[in-house]
Amino acid sequence: MTLTDREREVVALLRRDPLIGSAAIAAALGTTRAAVNVHLSNLGKKGVIRGRGYVLSEEPSVVVIGGANVDVKARSTRAAVPATSNPGTGSMAAGGVGRNIAENLARLGTRTHLVAAIGVDRLGDQVLAATSGAGVHVEHVRRSAWSTGTYTAVLDADGELVVAVSDMAATDELAADQVNAARDLVAAAGLVVLDGNLATETLRFALDLAAGHGTRVVLEPVSVPKATALAPLVCTEHPVYAITPNRDELAALTGLPTRTARQVAKAAAALHDRGVELVWVRLGAAGSLLSTRDGATALAAVPAEVADVTGAGDAMLAAFCHALLSGSEPAEAAAYGHAAAALTVASPHTVRPDLTDRLVRSLL
């Protein structure tokens, strides 16, 4: 969402007088009432104003910049045997780290905008419809010449990941100009979430853009190769509010060993020295460690019967951001994230369709 110059002028008038009429706005701007009504309608669609009386929306929003694709999942009905055919079931649904985080946020009740790239194809149509239908603002989802990306995962009978293949060519093409087109959203956002699948130069631009507006950034490293590529960007020149690696990604980000609890704490401290305020290390079944400059808090995982592990980390991060914007302290927000992850792994869906703030809080 980028505001036009005229829309900015309208917003300035509304801030001074939320009850001003369209005729008075037209007179102040030297335009017609019909033209003002068009601008007001567009501002409503963009989420800048809501309800009667042109009330400006002040609720904190999140801008998620990252991958959107189709998840193709195959699950073996018995323990998977490598190098041969295994009987099982298959499914296909909208996915992508950034997109999943955005959908989880929207389902929890946070106003969320997604900046992503998908193909001009039927899969892209399905991704766009599913994402918009979940409540995510998709004005900045670009239709690319590349085919819509795919994430193909093979799951064992117990729902654990055996192997996955990711085709993210469309996301790789997402460039700085697409991020810059959403600069007004970034400036007004409570948080910007960056998906480590983005190209390095796009990540650098997004970090600089957020820093220029004083907007807090949450960075999801995604994988060890991606963490290795983005490690040079994690520095005091590109302030990061929170980063959410697992143990191996933390090692890739810092170049330090992370096998023991003491090593994890030391590696987290190294990221604090590079300007990161919160380092939230995912430790799988052992829970997580939330590190701040003042110390660290160990959090236990919430027990759950595993149906499918896909998407648990995305739900965990989204819930963390939602709770932070709702006023929770970081440790409370992390615990809330664990509850959302437990609900997600207990569901066969990558993003649980019945996920709500109330459901998460019922598990705490």
Residue type at 198 in one-letter notation: L
Helix (H, G, I), strand (E, B) or coil at 147: coil
Which has the minimum average pLDDT: 12-16, 128-132, 224-228, 278-282?
Answer: 12-16
- Helices 33-45, 5-16: inter-axial angle, 10-degree rounding: 90
Report the pLDDT value the prediction gives residue 215, as an integer from 0 to 100.
94
Report the pLDDT value the prediction gives residue 51, as an integer from 0 to 100.
57
DSSP 286: G
The C-alpha atoms of residue 76 and residue 87 are separated, in whole angstroms, by 6
Both tokens of residue 339? 């509850």
DSSP 290-321: EEETTEEEEEPPPP---S--TTHHHHHHHHHH
Reported as a pLDDT band with limits 50, 70 and 90, residue 12 is confident
Report the pLDDT value the prediction gives residue 46, as an integer from 0 to 100.
72
pLDDT digits (tens, 9 = 90+) for 167-225: 888 999 999 999 999 998 998 899 999 999 999 999 999 999 999 999 999 999 999 99
Report the pLDDT value the prediction gives residue 249, as an integer from 0 to 100.
98
Asked whether the beta carbons of 198 and 17 are under 8 A apart, the reply is no
Report the pLDDT value the prediction gives residue 358, as an integer from 0 to 100.
93
Report the pLDDT value the prediction gives residue 192, as an integer from 0 to 100.
98
pLDDT digits (tens, 9 = 90+) for 62-105: 999 999 999 999 999 999 999 999 999 999 999 999 999 999 99
Q: Residue 232 forms beta bridges with which residues?
A: none
pLDDT of residue 116 exceeding 60, the answer is yes
pLDDT digits (tens, 9 = 90+) for 32-64: 999 998 988 888 777 777 655 565 556 789 999
pLDDT digits (tens, 9 = 90+) for 117-127: 999 999 999 99
Reported as a pLDDT band with limits 50, 70 and 90, residue 341 is very high
Helix (H, G, I), strand (E, B) or coil at 108: helix
pLDDT of residue 5 exceeding 90, the answer is no
For the chain, the average pLDDT equals 92
Residue type at 288 in one-letter notation: S
Go through 7-40 and write b for each residue having 16 or more CB atoms within 10 A of its CB, e for each that does not.
bebbbebbeeeeeeebeebbebeebeeeebeebb
pTM higher than 0.85, yes or no? Answer: no
Place of tokens 């195959």: 74
pLDDT digits (tens, 9 = 90+) for 221-278: 999 999 999 999 999 998 999 999 999 999 999 999 999 999 999 999 999 999 999 9
